[in-house]
Amino acid sequence: MFSNLAEKLQSALAKLKGRGKLSEQDVEQALREVRLALLEADVNFRVVKDFLARVKERAVGQEVMQSLTPGQQVVKIVHEELTALMGGSHARLNLAGRPPHVIMLVGLQGAGKTTSAAKLANALRKQSHRPLLVAADVYRPAAIRQLQVLGDQLGIPVFTLGERHDPVDIAQAGVSHAKSHGNDLVIIDTAGRLHIDDELMDELARMSSAVQPKETLLVLDAMTGQEAVNVAERFNQQLELTGFILTKLDGDARGGAALSVRAVVGKPIKYVGVGEKVDALEPFHPERMASRILGMGDVLTLIEKAQASMDAETAQKMAAKLRTADFTLEDFLDQLRQVRNMGPLDQILGMIPGLAGAKQLQGLQVDEKQLKRIEAIIQSMTPEERAQPHIINGSRRRRIARGSGTSVQDVNRLLKQFEQTRALFKQLGGGRGPRRPKGMLARLFGH
C-alpha cells in the first residue's frame, strides 16, 4: 500500500551520500519527500509547513550517526518529532474526583460516535467501572435504538427519554439516573453535527455546562482530509475538548488528521477505533501513528533491530555475499535463523523502503514451524546441492522430501522462495536498475 511512496522516499534518501554533518541541502532534499508523504497522508498543509520548518531547524548541522545515512538520519528526526508532537506516550482518561464521571462524545455526522460510546463503555467496564450510556441523539432516525441494541449486546444500561426531549435535559436526567443507580461513569452519545451549525453547537455548549463532563472527546474519522483542523478548532472553542477518539483506523487511511488536530488543538488522541466490533478500541500509540502517517516503513526500527540481533561477523560475511550475489541455500537458512529473532520476515522486509510490498516477498513468512521444516529440507541436501541448487532435479527433490519428512511441494516451494530471494537480493545488492540503493542490505546488516 505504501510501496510507491516508500520507493520515492528511498530514492530520495539514496541521493544523500557522504558522512559528517547534515548539510542544509541534505535536509531539504529529504524533507521534500517527507512533505509529499505528509500531504498524501492528509496532514493539513499549514501544519506540514510549520512542522517541517521546525524539523529543518533541528536537523541542519547535526552529526550523522555512524550507522545511518544522512537521509535516514533526517527521517529519524522527522519520526521522533512526529511522535513527540503526537503526545509522547498514551494519554489516559482523567477520571479523578467524585463520581459519577461524565464523558461526552461529540463530532461530525457519521464519525462513529455511537459505536465508540459502546466500545468505550465496554473498555471501561473491564477496568471495573460501572458505566451508563446516555442516548442524547434525538435527531438521526433510530440513533437511540442503535445505542440500545449495542447496550443490550454488552449488558450495559442505556438511559433514554426518547426523541421528544431536549438533549440537554436527557443528559442531565442521565446523570441523575447514574447517581441513583450507582453508575460511576456516564457516557453521553450526542448527535452528529456540523461545526458551523451555530444552533446545534450551542446545544452542546449548554449540555456541557449542565453536566460538567470530565472528558469531552471529539470523535474523528481517520479518513478526514484537510478540514480536520477547522472541525477540531471549532469544537474546541465551544467545548474545551479534552481529547480525541480516532475511528476507522482499520482501513488504509494514513490518518494525517491525527497530526493536524493534535497540532492545532494541542489535545491528545486517547483512543483509536480499529473495527466494527465492540472490543475494537485501542489506546493510542503515538509512535505507531507517526510511522503510519509517514508511510515509509519504519526504517529505523529495522536498523536498530538488525543491529541488535546480527553479530558483526555474520553481517560482514553476508554483506560480502550479497554484493557478489553468491548466495546459497545455506546462507538462506542462516539468514532465516537470524531474522527469526527479529520477527516475521515479510514484516521486517516490509519495513525497508523499496522492499515494502515487493511481490516476491508475499507469503514469505518465518514462523517456528516453517523454519523447522525449512531446516529439515536444507539439512537433507548434500553440500553440493546446497551450494548449487540448480542441480536439484526431480529425483533429488523426491529424495530430499523423503529425507526431511516433507512433501515434494514443500521442497519446490522452498526452492522457489530461495530463488526469488536471491534474485531480489542480487538486484538490491548488485545495484542493478536505476537508483537502487546500492548495498542497502549491507548497510542494514551493520556495514
Partner 1 sequence: MAFGGGWLQRLREGLARTRAGLAERVDALLGGRIDEEVFEGLEEALIQADTGVATTMRIMDALRERVRRESPRDASAVKAMLQEEILAVLKPVARPLNVKPEGLTAMLIVGVNGAGKTTSIGKLAYRFRHEGRRVIVGAADTFRAAAIEQLQAWGERAGVPVIAHQAGADPAAVAFDAAQAALARGADILLVDTAGRLQTRTNLMEELKKVHRVLKERLGGELAEVLLVLDATTGQNGLSQARLFGQAVPLSGIILTKLDGTAKGGIVIAIAGELGLPVKLVGVGESVDDLQEFDPEAFVKALFS
Ligand X SMILES: Nc1nc2c(ncn2[C@@H]2O[C@H](COP(=O)(O)OP(=O)(O)OP(=O)(O)O)[C@@H](O)[C@H]2O)c(=O)[nH]1
Which chain residues interact with ligand X by CB under 6 A? 109-110, 140, 192, 194
Whole-angstrom distance, CA of residue 415 vs CA of residue 333: 12
Q: Does 287 bind partner 1 (CB under 8 A)?
A: no
Among 6, 22, 27, 47, binds partner 1 (CB under 8 A): 47
Contacts to partner 1 from residues 88-107, by CB under 8 A? 88
Residue 166 binding partner per list partner 1, ligand X, none, with a CB distance cut-off of 5 to 8 Å that depends on partner kind: none
What is the per-residue binding string for partner 1 in 175-214, x denoting contact by CB under 8 A? -------------------xxx------------------
What is the per-residue binding string for partner 1 in 257-276, x denoting contact by CB under 8 A? x-----xx-x---------x
Q: Which is nearer to partner 1, 88 or 182 (CB)?
A: 88
Q: 221: helix, coil or strand?
A: strand
Write down the least CB distance from residue 151 to partner 1, Å.
Answer: 9
For residue 437, cis peptide bond before it (omega within 30 degrees of 0): no
Q: Does 36 bind partner 1 (CB under 8 A)?
A: yes
Q: Does 111 bind partner 1 (CB under 8 A)?
A: yes
With CB under 8 A, what is the number of residues at the site for partner 1?
60
Whole-angstrom distance, CA of residue 202 vs CA of residue 4: 45
Q: In the numeric block, which cell numbers belong to residue 401?
A: 522430501
- Cα distances (angstroms) measured from residue 311 to each of 303, 341, 440: 13, 12, 17
Do 132 and 183 form a contact (C-beta atoms < 8 A)?
A: yes
Q: In the numeric block, which cell numbers belong to residue 255?
A: 490518518
Tell me whether strands 158-159 and 215-221 are parallel, antiparallel or unpaired: unpaired
Q: Does 76 bind partner 1 (CB under 8 A)?
A: no
- Cα distances (angstroms) measured from residue 397 to each of 100, 110, 316, 384: 70, 57, 32, 14
Residue 276 binding partner per list partner 1, ligand X, none, with a CB distance cut-off of 5 to 8 Å that depends on partner kind: partner 1
Write down the least CB distance from residue 361 to ligand X, Å.
Answer: 34
Q: Does 33 bind partner 1 (CB under 8 A)?
A: no
Write down the least CB distance from residue 80 to partner 1, Å.
Answer: 7
Do 67 and 303 form a contact (C-beta atoms < 8 A)?
A: yes
Write down the least CB distance from residue 143 to ligand X, Å.
Answer: 7
Q: In the numeric block, which cell numbers belong to residue 368?
A: 517456528
